[in-house]
Amino acid sequence: MSNIGKIGEEAAFKYLEAKGYKIRERNYRTYLGEIDIISEHRGNIIFVEVKTRSSNKFGYAEEAVNSIKQKKIIKNALCYLNRYHLWRINSRFDVILISISNNKTIKGIKHIKNAFCLDSNNSPFN
Amino acid sequence: MLSKLYSATIFGVDAFIVEVEVDIRPGLPLFNIVGLPDTAVQESRERVRSAIKNSEFEFPMQRITVNLAPADIKKGGPVFDLPIALGILAANGQIKSNLLDKLLIIGELSLDGRIKPVNGVLPIALMVKNLGKKKLLLPQTNAKEAGIIKQLEVFPVDSLYEVVEFLNGKISIEPVFVNTKDIFTKSNDNQIDFTEVKGQEHAKRALEIAAAGSHNVIMIGPPGSGKTMLARRLPTILPSLTLEESIEITKLHSIANLLPPDTPLITDRPFRAPHHTISNSGLIGGGRIPKPGEISLSHNGVLFLDELPEFSRRALESLRQPLEDGIVTISRSLSSVTYTSSFMLVASLNPCPCGFFGDPVKTCTCSSSQIIKYRSKISGPLLDRIDIHIEVPRVNCREVMEKNSIENSCTIRKRVERARIIQRERFSEDNIFCNAQMSKKQIEKYCQIDYNCKNLLYKAIEKLNLSTRAFDRILKVARTIADLEQSENIKISHLSEAIQYRSLDRKLWLY
């Protein structure tokens, strides 16, 4: 993983902790892919994808979490829920966007709650 | 954040309102259009995205859902580009205006934010008027088309940026009004004139009657006798259009995207001369969502079929019902549409494949079976629906070239106009325009004939073996001849002239 990505994930981790989120896993990895952060907040399981960008030259960070990426995250999340038998708990998918400047300082954090859900575009079942 | 605007789309000849709802929710960027959009509407997502970015506005990086209501009717075409773009900007807070729900908005966007013209503006404008709305926002090029409807405020716009400035109250746009009188008084100098046709006075008289009552005509004669020349000059003696007729024609042309730019109203009667290879649906109208065909495009005008037997039999027979009813209903699995098609059919044909059957000078080289085959293309039922049959014989060259005193189109047209005025007054309560459109009931009411006339007509029918439909048609033509002579009643001379225009019914088939 690139350096910029690590800085971003660290920033997101600190941001969530400060907001009172309990972090369950970081970089949860299976053969299906990786989830950056899995946390718990007010009885919900929250799967977080962190995107870090130093410029918008190649499109917005929001656009980088496309349906293919979403599908991977969803599959992985189902794996996690199955493993710990968490089916009765509500869960959601968040995206945290971090923009950093050239000298690696954090410029801004944007937290999109409930950024996507299972629908026909990203369902792993079809 | 939700915004709601109004747009419209066409179904058949009529328009209906479409509510465009735009909802923006937080989430990953997604742009969905629901409400049975077709491919052109789905593609408008890309146009809207680029147009907003290139007009220096912000395209929201959020979940955008666009709903087109009513959700159960299929919507097509690019008319929704502009309302969708404005809906997004309004939901995003970049437009703050209380004008939005009073406007009806249509327009196609290009990637750089300019607004392009769309089809079918006149039907939409008429619908807006009928619904009691007042304001219409549409592309500059289409503005005149809607401007002819007096009760509307029509705002022409050129670019997305301009629209947003206007809605935010930063600039004002002058509404467009078009004075319909100006359009109609424009001089229409014809390139062609009836003086160019030498001789054939009998055919000219028959065409004058046809023009006066909008009767169907068939011309039969050898090649080079002037059939096509006569038909091409028919529009020069047709009466000028009324505003209602003009609107009906313009509506159909607007839907078919045949309206020339900067022409708000079609002021000349249409003259359509399709090639004889035309398909059935090209003639009648058709398509998955039916579009008007040639018979509808020649509504209130002339449909000229040159070399009638060369047309496919299927196409010709499909003319039968529209000729009778003046409307055509096209049914497809997806939809059924009714178009008006009250046209005047003008057909021409040779008497046989080589063209010289019955000619006094040249001998015909066709075998009798060839001739039978050729003529069987035109069925009895079709011929029955044609009121006036004209024989256009070969003319003697020397005789004709030296003739001079011939009437020009203008004089003939004046007589035709006079006859039409009589008809319009007579039918003021009947919702029709001319004698050819009379129904059975109206024939009984307006075509009263005395005892002598009746006797003549019955005799003619017996002798010539005419059908009862031909009986009605003769009365209609007689009525027109009487109108041309400004006579209130149909006299025996009018009736006998009308009867002799049925010559093809028997003569042609005797050989």
CB contacts under 8 A, B 125-154 vs A, are none
Domain ranges in chain B? 2-178, 194-435
Q: What is the pLDDT of residue B506?
A: 56
Fold of A3-116: Trna Endonuclease; Chain: A, domain 1 (3.40.1350)
- B27 touching chain A per CB within 8 A: yes
* pTM greater than the 0.90 cutoff: no
The strand pairing partners of B271, in sequence order, are B302
Q: pLDDT tens digits for B226-276?
A: 888 899 889 888 888 888 888 889 989 988 888 887 778 888 889 999 999
Nearest alpha-carbon partner for A35 in A22, A24, A21, A43: A24
Q: pLDDT tens digits for B38-83?
A: 888 889 999 999 999 999 999 998 889 999 989 888 888 889 999 9
CB contacts under 8 A, B 44-73 vs A, are 61
* Residue B282, token pair as written in the block: 């090209």
Residues B446 and B457: their CA atoms lie apart, in Å, by 17
Q: Is the pLDDT of residue B509 over 60?
A: no
Output the CA torsion sign for B162, B165, B170, B175. Answer: positive
The pLDDT > 90 percentage for chain B reads 36
How close A110 gets to chain B, by Cα (Å)? Answer: 11
Q: pLDDT tens digits for B99-142?
A: 888 899 999 999 999 999 998 899 999 999 888 878 999 999 88
Q: Give burial (CB, 10 Å; 0-12/13-18/19+) of B242.
A: middle
Dihedral in degrees, nearest 10, Cα atoms B145, B146, B151, B152: -150
Q: pLDDT tens digits for B271-306?
A: 999 999 999 999 999 888 788 999 999 998 999 999
Q: What is the pLDDT of residue B187?
A: 54
Q: What is the pLDDT of residue B114?
A: 95
Q: Is the pLDDT of residue B12 over 90?
A: no
Q: pLDDT tens digits for B408-456?
A: 888 899 999 999 999 988 988 888 878 888 888 888 888 888 899 999 9
DSSP letter for B498, please. Answer: H
* Residue B121, token pair as written in the block: 């503006």
DSSP 3-state of B298: coil
Residues B282 and B273: their CA atoms lie apart, in Å, by 12
Side-chain half-sphere CA neighbours of B480 within 13 A: 33
Confidence of residue B511 (pLDDT cuts 50, 70, 90): very low
Q: What is the pLDDT of residue B132?
A: 80
Q: In what order do the strands lie in the sheet with B388-391?
A: B271-272, B302-305, B344-349, B217-220, B388-391
How close A81 gets to chain B, by Cα (Å)? Answer: 23
Output the CA torsion sign for B363, B368, B369, B371. Answer: positive
* Residue B449, token pair as written in the block: 């004939």
* Residue B353, token pair as written in the block: 């494949």
Q: What is the pLDDT of residue B344?
A: 92
Chain A residues within 8 Å of chain B (Cβ atoms): 60, 62-63, 65, 70, 95, 112-116, 121
Q: What is the pLDDT of residue B64?
A: 92
Q: What is the pLDDT of residue A56?
A: 76
Of A63, A114, A121, the CB nearest to B27: A114
- B421 touching chain A per CB within 8 A: no
What CATH number should be reported for the domain whose range is B194-435?
3.40.50.300
Q: pLDDT tens digits for A8-65?
A: 888 999 999 999 999 999 999 888 888 999 999 998 899 999 998 888 777 788 888 8
Q: Give burial (CB, 10 Å; 0-12/13-18/19+) of A41.
A: middle
Q: Is the pLDDT of residue B510 over 50?
A: no
Between residues B165 and B384, the one the model is more confident about: B165
Q: What is the pLDDT of residue B404?
A: 63
* Residue B280, token pair as written in the block: 């059935």
DSSP codes of every residue in B304-347? EESSGGGS-HHHHHTTHHHHHHSEEEEE-SS-EEEEE---EEEE
Q: Which one of 3.40.50.300, 3.30.230.10, 3.40.50.2300, 3.40.190.10 gives the CATH number of domain B2-178?
A: 3.30.230.10
Output the CA torsion sign for B205, B208, B213, B216. Answer: positive
Residues A69 and A75: their CA atoms lie apart, in Å, by 10
Averaged confidence pLDDT in chain B: 87
Dihedral in degrees, nearest 10, Cα atoms B42, B44, B49, B50: 140
Cβ distance of A60 and B29 shorter than 8 Å: yes
Q: pLDDT tens digits for B355-395?
A: 888 788 888 888 888 888 888 888 878 888 888 988 888 88
Domain ranges in chain A? 3-116
